[in-house]
């Protein structure tokens, strides 16, 4: 049990259905390639990638290295850590005073997304550049786009960049990586009574996997009023947590805001407020009993904390295996941790180690009585559709519908908003099916319109049908369907198989109602995009 606690588990592991730590049956190479590609770069593997792996499965390790080096891996890290940091929210306590540009609600929504992605982009750039993971809490730079450069007190490290690029704050905040980003502390704010405790709890959760502070607390004691300050100091059930939480909170007063909703005040870090803990709690700063005098020293203490390393590997387990390590798997977890350390704490090495795990590559479910199929997250669904069709579901002036709830459908598709919904559902819902249906219809129509204007060799989907206006012959239709199944579902079928027969019949049935070949192809593609073999991996 001691080892489990060092892994960051807040509760004892339930032993009702433990995993037997014996190698499970491996899944077929095309399914494994699809899982790896979707998990590492957010798209389905190309035909060339599938063909090469089928011809020689021993090249899988080399292909994994290519996926990890792909620029799309950086985007995947952003998406994966969004659920951990919960910073990609639509709203923050910070208001819109002081800047007339925010009267444009679309502009405001785009800016708020950039704010929430700032810490995630820093994590992703560190991972993509294969830098030591300790940079997450020690570097003196952040990431910014045009919107943040316009509003925040930052400057580019190299002038003339585009998109998300390295920036540095100009207000003397300490070099503490994500702990020095506005995006982190706009998401996690504080009231006077809370005294930065919520912020310290968030820091512990995302960097150390210490979730003890997430537990709900009932302050009621009979019907009498409760003196929270007294109870924190005297109640044994409170003292244990607050003995470490409050001193850590005292290191965060440089981000203290007298008016939490003030946009202009929230832009900056205040060195003059670093000692304000004296007036608020009078609890001297420390890091889990280790003397520290500043947030700068906290960043270095986290980098030296074994829990930081354990947490990084545990989070990668969650990303790929969708669960924490079980008791029977601690040996494998320890091996993955050792690989991560031996690499110089490179996150890509952690991903590589877990991707080699036999349970990740299994055709059996992670839990007794379950299957290996996993529903795509909203990010995975959006990026995989975009890779095949070029379509991105944009609403209200270009806001991405799959990462927004004010204008889009992120939570409806099983995602989280970081505020009200902080964990993805474990079962699929009716709203997920509705979002998948609408996205599939729009993407199918867009793909046909786009590919009708492209030469055959430039098409991704309908490359076996030269004339999309004409009704294809049975032989041509079967050839096209075989290609689509390969490209969209990442598996192979024969042109004369029963499955091909059923898909030909589906095409014919759609055509009888649609009337034209282009409309038929649009509806047919939407059916493929809604199929369980596409929306699961």
pLDDT in tens, 154-165: 999 999 999 999
Q: How confident is the model at residue 100 (pLDDT cuts 50, 70, 90)?
A: confident
User: Is residue 477 situated within a structural domain?
Assistant: yes
Please list the alpha-helical segments (H only) found in 188-275. Answer: 197-208, 228-234, 236-249, 263-266
Q: Tell whether 416 and 489 lie within a shared domain.
A: yes
Tell me the average pLDDT of the chain. 90
Residue 314 has pLDDT above 70, yes or no: yes
Q: How confident is the model at residue 365 (pLDDT cuts 50, 70, 90)?
A: low
Q: What is the pLDDT of residues 477-486, one digit of tens each?
A: 999 999 999 9
Distance CA 298, CA 287 (A): 7
Q: Tell whether 392 and 314 lie within a shared domain.
A: no
User: Is residue 17 situated within a structural domain?
Assistant: no
Residue 31 neighbours by CB under 8 Å, 6+ apart: 363, 490, 491, 537
Q: Tell whether 315 and 297 lie within a shared domain.
A: no
Q: Tell whether 156 and 104 lie within a shared domain.
A: yes
Element (H, E) at 394: strand 394-395
Q: How many domains does the chain have?
A: 3
Residue 136 has pLDDT above 90, yes or no: yes
Q: Tell whether 299 and 315 lie within a shared domain.
A: no
Q: Is 400 left (phi over 0), alpha (psi -120 to 50) or beta?
A: beta
User: Is residue 362 situated within a structural domain?
Assistant: no
Last residue of a domain, one of 291, 320, 355: 355
Residue 2 has pLDDT above 70, yes or no: no
Q: Tell whether 452 and 470 lie within a shared domain.
A: yes
User: Is residue 373 situated within a structural domain?
Assistant: no
User: Is residue 370 situated within a structural domain?
Assistant: no
Q: Tell whether 171 and 243 lie within a shared domain.
A: yes
- What dihedral do alpha carbons 4, 6, 11, 12 form, nearest 10°? 20
**Which residue shows structure tokens 């599939």?**
440
Across the range 194-202, mean pLDDT stands at 95
User: Is residue 314 situated within a structural domain?
Assistant: yes
Q: Tell whether 320 and 202 lie within a shared domain.
A: no
Q: What is the pLDDT of residues 262-307, one digit of tens each?
A: 999 999 999 999 999 999 999 999 999 999 999 999 999 999 999 9
Phi, psi of 249 (to 5 degrees): -60, -30
- What dihedral do alpha carbons 487, 489, 493, 497 form, nearest 10°? -130
User: Is residue 368 situated within a structural domain?
Assistant: no
Residue 213 has pLDDT above 80, yes or no: no
Q: Tell whether 298 and 315 lie within a shared domain.
A: no
Q: Residue 481's closest CA among 494, 466, 468, 467?
A: 494
Q: Tell whether 319 and 170 lie within a shared domain.
A: no
- From the number of C-beta atoms within 10 Å of its C-beta (0-12, 13-18, 19+), residue 216 rates as exposed
Q: Tell whether 199 and 287 lie within a shared domain.
A: yes
Residue 492 neighbours by CB under 8 Å, 6+ apart: 30, 54, 482, 485, 486
Distance CA 444, CA 523 (A): 7
User: Is residue 146 situated within a structural domain?
Assistant: yes
* The two three-digit tokens of residue 497, written as one number: 């198989």
Q: Tell whether 72 and 212 lie within a shared domain.
A: no
- pTM, two decimals, is 0.91
Tell me the residue range of the domain where 283 lies. 93-303
């Amino acid at each position: 049990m001691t080892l489990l606690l060092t892994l960051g588990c807040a509760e004892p592991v339930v032993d009702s259905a433990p995993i037997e730590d014996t190698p499970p049956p491996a899944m077929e190479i095309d399914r494994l390639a699809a899982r790896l590609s979707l998990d590492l770069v957010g798209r389905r593997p190309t035909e060339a990638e599938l063909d090469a792996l089928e011809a020689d499965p021993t090249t899988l390790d080399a292909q994994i290295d290519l996926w990890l080096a792909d620029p799309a891996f950086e985007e995947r890290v952003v998406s994966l850590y969004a659920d951990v940091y919960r910073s990609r929210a639509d709203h923050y306590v910070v208001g819109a005073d002081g800047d007339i540009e925010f009267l444009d609600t679309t502009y405001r929504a785009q800016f708020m997304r950039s704010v929430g992605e700032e810490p995630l982009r820093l994590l992703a750039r560190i991972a993509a550049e294969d830098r030591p993971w300790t940079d997450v809490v020690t570097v003196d730079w952040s990431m910014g786009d045009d919107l943040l450069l316009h509003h925040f007190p930052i400057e580019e490290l190299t002038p003339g960049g585009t998109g998300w690029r390295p920036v540095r704050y100009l207000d003397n905040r300490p070099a503490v990586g994500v702990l020095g980003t506005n995006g982190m502390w706009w998401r996690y704010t504080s009231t006077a009574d809370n005294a930065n405790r919520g912020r310290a709890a968030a820091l512990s959760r995302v960097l150390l996997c210490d979730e003890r502070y997430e537990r709900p607390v009932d302050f009621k004691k009979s019907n009498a009023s409760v003196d929270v300050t007294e109870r924190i100091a005297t109640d044994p059930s409170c003292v244990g947590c607050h003995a470490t939480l409050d001193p850590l909170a005292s290191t965060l007063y440089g981000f203290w805001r007298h008016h939490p909703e003030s946009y202009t005040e929230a832009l900056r870090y205040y060195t003059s407020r670093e000692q304000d803990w004296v007036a608020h709690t009078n609890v001297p700063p420390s890091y889990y009993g280790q003397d520290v005098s500043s947030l700068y020293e906290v960043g270095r203490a986290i980098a030296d904390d074994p829990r930081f390393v354990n947490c990084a590997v545990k989070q990668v387990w969650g990303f790929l295996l969708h669960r924490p390590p079980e008791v029977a798997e601690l040996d494998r977890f320890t091996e993955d941790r050792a690989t991560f350390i031996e690499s110089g704490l490179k996150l890509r090495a952690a991903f590589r180690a877990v991707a080699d795990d036999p349970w990740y590559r299994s055709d059996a479910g992670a839990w007794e009585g379950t299957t290996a199929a996993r529903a795509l997250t909203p990010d995975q669904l959006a990026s995989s559709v975009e890779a095949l069709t070029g379509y991105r579901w944009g609403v209200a002036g270009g806001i991405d519908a799959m990462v927004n709830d004010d204008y889009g459908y992120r939570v409806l598709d099983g995602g989280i908003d970081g505020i009200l919904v902080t964990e993805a559902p474990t079962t699929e819902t009716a709203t997920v099916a509705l979002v998948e249906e609408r996205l599939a219809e729009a993407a199918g129509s867009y793909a046909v319109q786009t590919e009708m204007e492209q030469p055959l060799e430039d098409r991704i989907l309908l490359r076996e049908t030269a004339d999309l206006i004409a009704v294809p012959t049975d032989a041509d239709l079967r050839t096209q369907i075989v290609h689509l199944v390969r490209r969209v579902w990442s598996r192979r079928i024969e042109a004369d198989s029963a499955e091909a027969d059923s898909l030909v019949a589906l095409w014919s049935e759609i055509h009888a109602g649609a009337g034209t070949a282009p409309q038929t192809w649009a509806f047919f593609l939407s059916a493929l995009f809604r199929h369980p073999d596409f929306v699961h991996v």
